[in-house]
Structure 1
């Protein structure tokens, strides 16, 4: 079933079990990974894709991702550096992925943070904003669910 709006998107995230929800959330955030150069964020998302990640590994990754989030927040300062803001939103989104259990609301929050990162990128490029990122996320979640056999 195609995902065409945020209501369906939220329902699809909520329908996933713990590990699959964490993987799907990480998959969505990885769609915006090009907006950060921080290796801690990439490492956290790589770990989040593994169902066998234990709590100690997740805690270590969470500390790294949080450090990246704080660093980008500090770097952005009060200036409207949209590229830096995008990197900050990606790190904030990744934080949700390195929790032992990703709730449906946490998955939604991560997706919104990733959308905000793309919006910042659009503003930085001077092309404005649109709903393209929401539609891209709907498609990415559909593809993930098809690949994992979770499609309804």
Structure 2
């Protein structure tokens, strides 16, 4: 299987097999700026580009190859506009306390009991990407760092073998 470069992964990020999400238009610059204002941090440039193509939905890449193991990340990615079909990153950020998510962690994707998030606690300008698995204990926030940046996360994504 050919390995895609970053530009190809960004261009082809969204699943084309999911008709419900394929018709979602991209986020506007105004939507992105509003989301950044609410979360108090910049959205990584690559994620901004992805959301301008389509404002949330199903990612075509279900797996992340980390340094020590492979993680399933076939999650529903949130959009930034309140009208986003897949849910809004803003709404998830505003609801974070009920799930034990710290202030400087922004959920960008979720499915059942897993969340993928941008973690701004170490670097307010360049967040790491973390995976949070829910064990039903919302009192404690346990996250596995997948990548040191969103770009590094994109580099590790792959589809089904």
For normalisation by structure 2, the TM-score amounts to 0.31
Q: If each structure's strand is expressed as a fraction of its own residues, which one has the higher value?
A: 2
Higher relative contact order (CA 8 A, sep 6+): 1
Q: If each structure's helix is expressed as a fraction of its own residues, which one has the higher value?
A: 1
